[in-house]
Each structure stands twice: as C-alpha cells, then as structure tokens.
Structure 1
Amino acid sequence: MTIFDTAPPKGTVRDWLDSQAEVGGAAIAYKFTDGTAPLSWCDMRDRARNMARYLTELGLTKGESLAVMMPNGKPALEALFASLYGGFRVTMINLAAGNDAIRYALEHSEARYAFVGKAQQDQFSETRSNLVAALPDIPSETRLAQLHSLDPGDDALLMYTSGTTGRPKGVVHSHSSLLAGGWTTATAHALTPADCGYCVLPICHINGLCVSVMGSLISQSQLLVAPKFSTSRFWSDIDTGAATWFSVVPTIISHLLHGAKDPNESIKARLRFGRSASSALAPDVQTAFEARFDVPIVETMGMTETAAQMLSNPLPPGLRKIGSPGLALGNEVAILRQDLSLADSDEQGEIAIRGPNVMKEYLKNPAATQAAFTPDGWLLSGDLGHKDTDGYVYVTGRLKELIIKGGENIAPREVDEALYAHADVVEAAAFARPCSTYGERVEAAVTLKPGSTLTSEDLIKICITRLGVFKAPDYVHLIGELPKGPSGKIQRLKLAEIVKIYATTMPE
C-alpha cells in the first residue's frame, strides 16, 4: 500500500496496520518524549491485535462504542489502535472539555467500557454512569479469539464537537474516511518512511488523530509523540527526536514566536516544514515566524467532519499564499451561495466539502446530519470565504461569529489580523457585544507578551489605522490568556461571557 496512489486508500485500519507491520517489521513507528520505550510497526500491530482479541472475549460487539480517556502517550495509541483493529467504534474523550461534556459523551455514545489513564481515574469516577466501566490493564500474552469481520464502511471513530453553541454533536467516521483523512495529509505533505512527525496536539482531537497518527500510518513514517505542547521543550524535543515536520495551531506558533528559544542549525537543516491548522493564521505572525526561525509554515484547514485536512498550501517551492489555507487535495471544495449554487471566483459564500474523507453522520441525530449536507452531497462547513482565480480558498470567518454592526458584516478575522500586526500581541480575538445603537459592536480580547506597555487605546489606534473607525473595536480587553479548546483554538464565542464584567463600564 502506498500514498502515491491517485485514489484514496482501500481497506480498513486493520488492513493498513497489518500491511505496515509486514513491510516495516522492526522499524520504529512511534517514539515518545516522556522516555517510554519506542514501538516498532510489529510491536504496535501485535499489541493492537492481542488487545482487540481480549476485548472481543470480553463480549464487545462489532461497531459498539469504546471510550478512550487518556492523554497523549503509548497507552493512548495502543488503546486507539486496539479499538480500531477489533472493529469497535473508538470514542475519543476530550479531557479538556469539562465534566458536563465528558459525562454527556460517555452517556450519548452508550460506551460500556473505557480505557482510562491513571491520572484520569478521578475524573472518570465523577463523569461515568453506571453503564460504563473502566478496563483493567490488558495482559500482553497472545490470545486467540476470532476477531469481528471488518469492512471499509464500518464505523471506526466517534468524536464529539466542541459544542460551543449547544450540546456537542458526535461525528462518526468510517474506516474509509479515517484512512482518507490520513491520505490527504500524507499526500499534500509528501510524507515518506524517511519522515518523522512531531505530535503535540491531543489525539482526542481530529488534528492530532488524523493528521499526525493516520498520516504517519498511511506513509509508514515515524511519529514522535509528546504528552502536550511545551514552549520550553518544543525545539529540544524536535532535535532529540529527529523530527522532520510538525503540526500545530496558530496559538502555538504565536507562543513560539514570543518564546526565548530558537532551533539550532541541525534542526533547521532537517525540518522540512511546520503545519498550521484548526483556525486562521494571521499573515503577520506567519511572516515573522518564518523570518525568525527559517522554517516554512504550510497553512491548512480541516474539520472534525472531514477527518481533518480538506485544504492545504503546497510545500516549498510551490506557491504558498499567505492568508489562505490553500487548495483542495483529495476532496472537492466549493463556495456556495445562499441558494446553494456555485459562487464565482472572488465571490463570498459558504465553504462546502465533498469527498472520501467526509463523515458518515452525526450519531443519533438525523436532523443535524440532514441539515449538514446539501441535496447533492456537499458538507456545509459553516465557514465563510471565497476562492481566487487560482483556486486558493480564503476564509473570512464563521457564519455564527460574524459581527453585524449597523447591518454591515464585519469578519472578526480582519480585526484579529490588525491586532496581530503589533509584535507584542501573543493572542488576539475579536467578538460581538450587544449595542443599543448598532445592534452589535466590535470588541476584542488580547494577551500581550510579558513586559509590554501597550494599552487598550494603543491597540484601538492600530485597528483604526488599518481598518477604519467603523470596523475598529470599541474596546480591547487585556487578559492573561484567551479561552481555548483542546487543540489550542481560541474559543471566540466564550469571550463575551468572560469579559462581561466590563459591561457596566462600557459606553453604549
């Protein structure tokens, strides 16, 4: 099996793990920054197979949910592949989602068993129902149970969305769409067995799971896994682990840019690229990062519903367009008008996706599933944007996050980018606040680098210069840290609630 096929991968995750073990054998597949012994392809296949047989003996039926409540590391990877190998619907629990969301996911998924990390035992006890039990450590001896038969269309993954505007939705992927998610990544970034990815994003998030884990499986390349992102250890881990690429989010890129450490020359000689996804990367931040570190950043875009990547800029020396997450590769991406007709070049509309990496459904929610798709099969992303004449997509913002001031649409990203233009700004996000005069007004929240003397008034002046008075924020809140989801994506819709203390002092 090879990533250089023009068609998406065939088979199941079990097929691919078997194949990579046969070809790769004792070659190292997974390395860990916490000092845990590495796993070869055969190690991972054998461990996944034996654990899957144990789970089958336990009475788990094909396609039933099996929860994983663990941080990044060797046990989490083994649990992930054991679940997929056995034909169960692996249900990745977002440890940062809060107890209410975790409780909902465990109940809604109807999982009877869960892999639970040692540090997560108390949280599991607080969120579990009487219907779900923690699995014991699974012994390593060989078991002979007959595994369930498996087809590409069978359920493979259940992952819950962030649920910022209501109950989380459970996104269901098949083996086929999960593998396609890894294939789009491996193909776009030309991954080969000579590569080693650096995974700092949680694998309970679609970026960490599909981009890093599935991309490495499809390309038979190594993966260096860290428990979590660390500014102080980022470059040294890449050096020690001999990583050739990494996948992060814009907030991580900004924190590295404002950090004290630089990669050494051996890192820069080995590191092919860094990959940014999950939210828009401000052009000024990308330009400053590349200028300081001499590492090209490839901006991409993906969704939980598309098994991560749906757009990517080309690798150097291909044309990377700063401010765009790139071109469609492995799937189709269109811009649709409100009547669902195709928009022209440079015409704004809703970004829609169609292809082998698109989800099967929202679990137990046929109404939401139907609403997510057009009659001719396009998945509606909820993002606004346009395509240029070269096919590069530009994202304006989320439909639900648009600021409508006096009847005019203002994209929060415009304000974000104006704020990021100042070198002292580490994190920035604009958002809407109610206003009796205009209906909504523009405000923003910003985190500054330590020691900065910038004021709210300074930042407003910068925005006025770049955007004009109408689009500039009426107030900029300086706070210690902006709220973020498990992948590091800033949760814009939570900001108004966090800064509501200012409501009584703000003029109308």
Structure 2
Amino acid sequence: MIFAPDTPPKGTLRDWVDHRAASGGTAFVFWDDPEGLDWKSLQAEARKIAMALTAQGLEKGESVAILQPNGREGVLAFYGAVYGGFRATMINLAAGQDAISYALEHSEAKVAIVHDSVRSLFEATRPGAMATMDVSVAVTDAKLHDVAPSDHALLMYTSGTTGRPKGVVHTQSSLLAGGWTTAIAHDLSPRDRALCVLPICHINGLCVTVIGALVSGGSVAMCPKFSVSGFWTQVSEMGATWFSVVPTIISHLLHAKGAPGAETMDRLRFGRSASSALAPDVQSAFEKRFKVPIIETMGLTETAAQILSNPLPPGIRKIGSPGIAYGNEVAILAPDLTECPCDTEGEIAVRGPNVMLEYLKNPDATNGTFADGWLRTGDLGKKDADGYLFVTGRLKELIIKGGENIAPREIDEALYSHGDVIEAAAFARPCKTYGERVEAAVRVRDGSRLTNDDLVDICVQKLGRFKAPDRIHFLPELPKGPSGKIQRLKLLAVT
C-alpha cells in the first residue's frame, strides 16, 4: 500500500490496516485513556471484532450499528466492522430519539455495538429484534469474508429536505478516497498527528482525521468532545500538528481565554475549517491572534467529506472561498447540466472516487442526486478565473447550524404533533455563532395557551436540543403561495 498523491488509494480498508500494522507506529492516542493504540494493536483488535461479528452469521455488507462516543471503543468498533467486510453504521448520538430509531430500523442492522454510556438511549430506540454485541468475547475460528474495494463499508445518515434522514452508502474504495482527498490537500505524512474533537459518527471526524491518518500513515489524538477551555492544552500535550474543526469552534476559541505556547506554535502546521462557511472576519481575527493559518474547506457526507480546500501556505488562500478541488472534480452546472462560464452562478456538482454509491433503499433520491455522472449538491456557487469556488446559496431548504444539516420538515412535524398547532414551518436565521440558528413560526387555534417554551420542549424531546428552535413566532397566518403551500423563505422577513 503506497500513499500516492496522484492516484486514489487501491485495495480495501483491511489491506491498509494490515499494511500499517506491518509498518508499525502509533495510530491513536486518547485524552481520556492513557492506553493508546499502535497500528499493530489496532489490527489485532479489529480482527478480533471482525471475527466475533462473522461468528454471528452476518453476511458481507450487512449493517452493524455503532453507538459509540469518541474513544478507544468507538475507533475499534468502526475498524472491526469494516475489517470484517460489514457496513459500519455510525449512529449520531445527538440526533434525537426519533431519528435514531429510524436509522436503526432503516439500516436493517441485526446487531449493535453499544457503549455503556448510551445503553439507555439504545434501549429507548432499538428495534425489537436488534441484539447488542459483546465484542470482547474471543472468537478464533471464524473465517473472515473476502472483501473487495466495491463492497459496502459505511452507512451514515444525513438530513434531507423531506425530513427523513437519508442513508448514505460508501464503499471500501470511496471511504479510502475520502481520507486521500484530505491527505493530498494538506500534504499529510507519517509525521503528522491530527487532533480529533469532532464526533466520528459524522463524516468530517471519521474521514478527515481517522481515514486521513490511515491513508497517510500519521496518527490521531482523539478527545471525547470539544472543550473550549481544554483545547490548547490538548493540542500541546497530545502533540498535534493540525486540527479539523467547524466555524463555531473557531469562533468560540477566538473569544475565549488561553493560547498555545511557543513550542506548540512551532509544531502546529495549520487548522482546518469545514462543514459550513467560515466568516472572513472570524478567520482573519483568529489568524492574527493565534498565528495559526486556517485552511477553509468544503465537504459532504455524500463525498466522504472533503471536495474543496484552500492550499497550504505559501499557496494562495482566498478568504471567503472553500478553495479548489483535490482528488475529485468540482464543477458549476447550468440547469441543462453544461458547465457554467467563469464567475457565473450555477449548481455545485462533484464527481470522483470519493463519491457515495447510493442512498440506501432510496432509488428515487439516488437518481435525483446523480446526473450524467455528477453528484448534484443542491448548493449554488461560482468559480473565479483561478478555479477557486465561492458558495452563493442553496437550492435546498436545509438549515445549516454549526456545520450540521437540519431538515426544516423534521421540526415542522414535531410542532404539528401538538393538537393546537394549525400551521408550522421552521426556517433559518443568520447567526454569528452558528452560521444559522433554527427558528419556527406557528399559527395556533383560537384560545390556545401554548407558549414558546411549550413548543420548544416538544422539539427537544423529539429531535434533541441541537435541532430544536431557539424561538417560536406566533403569527395569525403564515405566508402562502397560490396553491396554499407555506412559503418558508418569506418567514425571515415577517418575523
């Protein structure tokens, strides 16, 4: 296995784990666990888990649900599933019970690898026939499935405009390509160590840091979650050379006390921003204060994370742009699917080895997303004469809060669950902290005593705190078009 900047990775995740084990070196260090993982130990543990899953009679490509926070057990659960040729189904623990129940049911996973800390959440959302898996039980006589690059490797659920999460399927090869696009854009090498504070149940944390290290031969410093007060201490003590975060984190760090020491500054090559647009003023202020270059990027769950990145210094970084394509093609398409001229707005589309295989059990959504070999993102943008892309808007109605996609319809349905609500529609309001925040407008029946707090509490219970609206606007009537459909995009102006 060779990391070649000009060629997508060949083989499977199992091949690459075996190669790293043979080469040696550290794979992971953990902030909350003194026992790290070298590649040889990771291989042995992943193989043991793969055998335990195989011994359960699971077929190649079947889903294995993984409900794990960041940490040693979560890393091994993921690698064990893909090493065995199964479809690692990463469950977002903050998604809310309805979404988790849907993902577990829709994935058709027969077994789940569940961390003790989320056992009650699993019990509240599990399908009746799903069993938990004790991966500590030693199994030595199970013959592992043969695994090919085209086999399923990952199932990750992402919000869509229809409200129901869509299950994005990646193959062994597209998942490796996702790590490769990061590695070539950021010139990663075995000397690098990524600080991982983003959850690996999201595509950014999983592909950028975890798979990026597998492909490049570097290592990962993993933290349970982001801590604004502990961030620079973690960068320092864990020996990180770069980090990947979202704009919200950059903003929090900018406005908090503390800064890296001189030794850390000498070692730290760059910080990486992804998942939503980074405000130019925030980026400039961060770099001025901390003397750490921030590389703005863009990626999707459907593309195994990164599609665009600004070059590393001394290359030209254009503030306000997520950069240029690395490892895939990114085009601006007109409605007739021809490429738009320079500086002309159109839909952002992607094709390359990192693009997903399909949406699981959803051929209509799959066919609607692909056109002439391009994956249509639903985002609007334009390219300048140097090939740098600028995002100008979205065709879809997704709310992007702190880099996370939130489907307005999910919130609509939660609000409609109360009998007093006659009309409901969620929408985005610009926010300096999160990029966008969630608000909603409702019309309630005459005489109703419903309050803002009542409806927010319903949304928290059904969807989780993160997706719940910050404010509910009570209106006599919501704006509608000729057909009677609520015009969501007009709500910002009337509230």
TM-score range with shorter-chain normalisation? 0.7 to 0.9
Write the distance in 2 (CA, Å) between the matches of 1:320 and 1:299: 8
Choose which of 337, 355, 361 in structure 1 pairs with 2:352: 355
Q: CA deviation at 1:498?
A: 3.7
Write the distance in 1 (CA, Å) between the matches of 2:370 and 2:345: 19
* Equivalent residue runs for 1:60-75 within 5 Å: 60-75=58-73
Distance verdict in 2 for CA 1:61–1:276, change over 3 Å? same
Distance verdict in 2 for CA 1:164–1:38, change over 3 Å? farther
Choose which of 308, 311, 320 in structure 2 pairs with 1:323: 320
* Equivalent residue runs for 1:295-334 within 5 Å: 295-334=292-331
Q: Which residue of 2 aligns with 1:500?
A: 472
Q: Which residue of 1 aligns with 2:386?
A: 390
Q: Which residue of 2 aligns with 1:231?
A: 228
* Equivalent residue runs for 1:136-215 within 5 Å: 136-139=134-137, 141=138, 143-163=140-160, 165-215=162-212
Q: CA deviation at 1:313?
A: 0.5
Distance verdict in 2 for CA 1:265–1:504, change over 3 Å? farther
- For the pair 1:43 / 2:41, whether they are aligned, the reply is yes
CA root-mean-square deviation: 2.6
* Equivalent residue runs for 1:403-442 within 5 Å: none
Choose which of 95, 108, 124 in structure 1 pairs with 2:93: 95
Whether the aligned pair in 1 keeps the contact of 2:5 and 2:184 (CA below 8 Å) is no
Q: Please, which moves more after superposition, 142-151 or 202-211?
A: 142-151
Choose which of 30, 50, 53 in structure 2 pairs with 1:52: 50
Whether the aligned pair in 2 keeps the contact of 1:53 and 1:147 (CA below 8 Å) is yes
Q: Which residue of 2 aligns with 1:407?
A: none
Write the distance in 1 (CA, Å) between the matches of 2:76 and 2:470: 38
Whether the aligned pair in 2 keeps the contact of 1:179 and 1:214 (CA below 8 Å) is yes
- For the pair 1:131 / 2:129, whether they are aligned, the reply is yes
Distance verdict in 2 for CA 1:445–1:250, change over 3 Å? closer
Give CA-to-partner distance per residue, 1:126-185, whole Å, 9 cap, x none.
00011211112423x461321001100000000000346410000000000000000110
Q: Which residue of 2 aligns with 1:474?
A: none
Whether the aligned pair in 2 keeps the contact of 1:351 and 1:384 (CA below 8 Å) is yes
Write the distance in 2 (CA, Å) between the matches of 1:160 and 1:148: 25
Give CA-to-partner distance per residue, 1:326-368, whole Å, 9 cap, x none.
0001000000011211100000000000000000000000010
TM-score (norm 1): 0.81
Write the distance in 2 (CA, Å) between the matches of 1:142 and 1:121: 24
Choose which of 114, 118, 121 in structure 2 pairs with 1:120: 118
Give CA-to-partner distance per residue, 1:349-393, whole Å, 9 cap, x none.
00000000000000000010000011x200000111000000000
Gaps of 5+ in 1: 403-411, 417-430, 432-439, 449-484
Q: CA deviation at 1:445?
A: 4.5
Q: Which residue of 1 aligns with 2:367?
A: 370
- For the pair 1:288 / 2:285, whether they are aligned, the reply is yes
SS for the counterpart of 1:500 is: strand
Give CA-to-partner distance per residue, 1:50-71, whole Å, 9 cap, x none.
1111111111111100000010
Q: Which residue of 2 aligns with 1:16?
A: 16
Q: CA deviation at 1:444?
A: 4.0
Choose which of 396, 400, 407 in structure 2 pairs with 1:400: 396
Whether the aligned pair in 2 keeps the contact of 1:20 and 1:41 (CA below 8 Å) is yes
TM-score (norm 2): 0.83
Distance verdict in 2 for CA 1:237–1:502, change over 3 Å? farther
Write the distance in 2 (CA, Å) between the matches of 1:354 and 1:55: 34
Aligned residue identity for 1:282: A
SS for the counterpart of 2:33 is: coil
Distance verdict in 2 for CA 1:444–1:327, change over 3 Å? closer
Distance verdict in 2 for CA 1:443–1:273, change over 3 Å? closer
Whether the aligned pair in 1 keeps the contact of 2:166 and 2:360 (CA below 8 Å) is yes
SS for the counterpart of 1:342 is: coil
Give CA-to-partner distance per residue, 1:193-231, whole Å, 9 cap, x none.
111000000000000000000000001101000010000
Distance verdict in 2 for CA 1:293–1:349, change over 3 Å? same
- For the pair 1:216 / 2:188, whether they are aligned, the reply is no
Gaps of 5+ in 2: 402-407, 409-425, 435-459, 478-492
Write the distance in 2 (CA, Å) between the matches of 1:442 and 1:366: 29
Give CA-to-partner distance per residue, 1:74-115, whole Å, 9 cap, x none.
000000000000000000000010000000000000000001
Write the distance in 1 (CA, Å) between the matches of 2:293 and 2:389: 19
Q: Which residue of 2 aligns with 1:405?
A: none
SS for the counterpart of 1:37 is: strand
Write the distance in 2 (CA, Å) between the matches of 1:185 and 1:316: 16
Aligned residue identity for 2:29: K
Identity across matched positions, percent: 57
Write the distance in 1 (CA, Å) between the matches of 2:132 and 2:216: 33
Whether the aligned pair in 1 keeps the contact of 2:105 and 2:127 (CA below 8 Å) is yes
SS for the counterpart of 1:231 is: coil
Whether the aligned pair in 1 keeps the contact of 2:52 and 2:139 (CA below 8 Å) is no
Write the distance in 2 (CA, Å) between the matches of 1:281 and 1:79: 33
Q: CA deviation at 1:36?
A: 3.6
Runs of 4+ in 1 over 2 A off after TM superposition: 1-5, 162-165, 440-448, 497-508
Write the distance in 1 (CA, Å) between the matches of 2:129 and 2:160: 23
Q: CA deviation at 1:397?
A: 2.2
Whether the aligned pair in 2 keeps the contact of 1:36 and 1:74 (CA below 8 Å) is no
Q: Which residue of 2 aligns with 1:262?
A: 259
